[in-house]
Structure 1
Amino acid sequence: MSSRSLSRPLLACLTGIVLLTAHAVARADASEALRQFVQTVQSARSGFTQTVSSPDGAKKKTSSGTFEFQRPNRFRFDYSKPYEQQVVADGVKVWMYDLDLNQVTVRPYDQALGQTPAALLTGGQLDRDFTLRNEADEGGLQWVLATPRGKEGSIRQLRIGFRGRELAAFEMTDAFGQRSRLEFTRLETQAAIPAARFKFVAPAGADVLNQ
């Protein structure tokens, strides 16, 4: 058998090995990108679009707004569409304000957050609170599956999508099968965010409900 005929299967084998290795590296990037993000990004701000889907996918609700966080344990969601709402965490409590109803709901931080995306980004210990598994690329993003180690929370699993090293999306599935997807836009990391952004004072006349 000639050297030429030997070279073709050998080349094909080597090409396959290279492709498999490259795929493995790409898959490893998502969990590594998440670890790096959690370890190094102390603050960020971004626009977001949130889509909440029923378990069968038949019903969907979409909202949008801005998101800010600063470690440890402080974050703020300002929903602008379709209704104005604010969710502010000061590290001790989480304040949820419905502007149309002029109603504020207050919960202790640990009870409100548990093992959620906000807790993961702002203060959770990644490998203590979650098990990680890389998933196949989808929609131009690299995905990692984060499953909460604790069984007491309402969150069944989280999927975090990266575009290279940039956080691009979250998908959260709760115990009832409802899925919520957040897609981030104009993400600015290490942003200089005033501390006052994470303090909430109930407006005059608002109903305040402590839970």
Structure 2
Amino acid sequence: MKRLILTALLGAALASPAWADAVASLRQFVQEVKSGRATFTQTVSSPDGARKRSTEGRFEFVRPNRFRFDYAPPMAQHIVADGQKVWLHDPDLDQVTVRAMGDALGATPAALLAGGSLDKDFTLKALPDRDGLQWAEALPKARDSQFQAVRVGFRGKDLAALEIVDSFGQVSVLSMRQFEANVSLAPERFRFTPPPGADVLEQ
């Protein structure tokens, strides 16, 4: 009986670090990965999971506070953070929305990429491994956050997935491909000039 108990305890001790490593991987990612880029597929599901839509895209970031998301047609959209402002360009509407970085970023999923303060803005928790990935969950501390949780999936030390649950229960999953860490990215990638004739809305 003692041997069985010891075996069970040893098994639990050996198994638990796999979960805990996900939070360590997230902390290490924020501390050590100063830039990165990847292509992704984003799937958005309704709260009941009945409706889904997918789109392809590419993202790049450089710490601190510079990132870029480019979504491919037919849902083309460009989101560019230049360190001071966040620009959202909708080509179909020929419209650009501009917000100050502090107002747009805060405790958002983008803050995980752009260099936000993990412990200041989020409560971190390790989750069980799933789909061959290690998962960490970040819960926003701000009461007025527009999302409930963001779950970050790692394959080894590489960022592999983001799951974002918004305040309405809608789930967005970004599955990363070809993630490259600490790459050299041209500064102009994080500058945005509104196209001629586009409506520019400042918020």
Return the TM-score normalized by structure 1: 0.92
Say if 2:127 is the partner of 1:127: no
Which amino acid in structure 2 is aligned with residue 130 of structure 1?
Answer: F
Which amino acid in structure 2 is aligned with residue 197 of structure 1?
Answer: R
2:74 aligns with 82
Aligned-residue sequence identity (percent) comes to 53
User: For residues 162-187 of structure 1, what are the alpha-carbon distances to aligned partners after superposition, in whole Å with 9 as ceiling and x for unaligned?
Assistant: 11211111111111111111111100
Which amino acid in structure 2 is aligned with residue 72 of structure 1?
Answer: P
2:8 aligns with 16
Q: 3-state SS of the aligned residue for 1:47?
A: strand
- Partner residue of 1:185 out of 172, 177, 181: 177
2:51 aligns with 59
Which amino acid in structure 2 is aligned with residue 86 of structure 1?
Answer: H
2:193 aligns with 201
Q: 3-state SS of the aligned residue for 1:82?
A: coil
Aligned residues: 203
Find the aligned partners of 1:54 and 1:83 in 2 and give their Cα distance. Answer: 17
User: For residues 105-143 of structure 1, what are the alpha-carbon distances to aligned partners after superposition, in whole Å with 9 as ceiling and x for unaligned?
Assistant: 111112222212211221211111111111111111111
- Partner residue of 2:128 out of 122, 136, 150: 136
2:26 aligns with 34
User: For residues 32-83 of structure 1, what are the alpha-carbon distances to aligned partners after superposition, in whole Å with 9 as ceiling and x for unaligned?
Assistant: 0000000010000000111111111111111111000000000000111432
Say if 2:160 is the partner of 1:168: yes
**Would the aligned equivalents of 1:145 and 1:158 in 2 still touch at CA under 8 Å?**
yes
Q: 3-state SS of the aligned residue for 1:61?
A: strand
Q: Which runs of 5+ in 2 are unaligned?
A: none
Return the TM-score normalized by structure 2: 0.95
**Would the aligned equivalents of 1:77 and 1:88 in 2 still touch at CA under 8 Å?**
yes
CA RMSD, 1 decimal: 1.3
Give the superposition deviation at 1:15.
3.1
Give the superposition deviation at 1:93.
0.8
Greater Cα shift, 18-27 or 33-42: 18-27
Q: 3-state SS of the aligned residue for 1:23?
A: helix
**Would the aligned equivalents of 1:115 and 1:155 in 2 still touch at CA under 8 Å?**
no
User: For residues 153-205 of structure 1, what are the alpha-carbon distances to aligned partners after superposition, in whole Å with 9 as ceiling and x for unaligned?
Assistant: 21111111111211111111111111111111100000100010000001111
- Partner residue of 2:147 out of 141, 155, 170: 155
Say if 2:100 is the partner of 1:111: no
Find the aligned partners of 2:102 and 2:115 in 1 and give their Cα distance. Answer: 11
